[in-house]
Homo-oligomer: A and B are copies of this chain.
Amino acid sequence: MNLQESHSLNWDDLKYFLAVARSGTLRGGADRIQVNHTTLARRLAVMEENVGSRLFDRSKAGLVLTQLGEDLMPYAERVEEEMTAASRIIVGRDALPSGTIYLTLPHGLAMTSLMDDLALFAEQYPDISLNMRFSNEVADLTRREADVSLRIADEVTQDVVGRRLVQLSQAAYCTKDYAQRIRDNGGEGLSLIGWHEPEGDTTAKWVQESCYPKALLRHRVSDIVPLITLAASGLGMAYLACCLGDRHPGLIRAPFQKPKPYRSLWLLLHKDLRNTARVRLFVDFLAGRVQSRRNEFWVAGTTG
**A interface, CB within 8 angstroms of B:** 1-3, 5-15, 32-33, 48-49, 51-54, 58, 66-68, 71-72, 75-76, 78-91, 93-94, 99-100, 102, 143-145, 147, 272-273, 275-276
Q: Judging by beta carbons under 8 Å apart, are B53 and A93 in contact?
A: yes
| Chain A, interface SS category | helix
Instruction: Return A253 CB to nearest CB of chain B, in Å.
Output: 43
Q: Judging by beta carbons under 8 Å apart, are B52 and A33 in contact?
A: no
Q: Judging by beta carbons under 8 Å apart, are A88 and B52 in contact?
A: no
Instruction: Return A263 CB to nearest CB of chain B, in Å.
Output: 29
Q: How far is the CA of A84 from the CA of B82 in the complex (A)?
A: 15
Q: Judging by beta carbons under 8 Å apart, are A80 and B144 in contact?
A: no
Nearest residue (CB) in B for A5 is: B87
A/B interface sample: 20 pairs, CB < 8 A: A2-B84, A6-B80, A6-B86, A8-B87, A9-B87, A10-B12, A11-B11, A52-B276, A53-B94, A54-B147, A58-B144, A66-B100, A68-B93, A68-B99, A71-B89, A72-B89, A75-B85, A75-B86, A75-B89, A76-B86
Q: Which residues of B contact A51 (CB under 8 A)?
A: 90
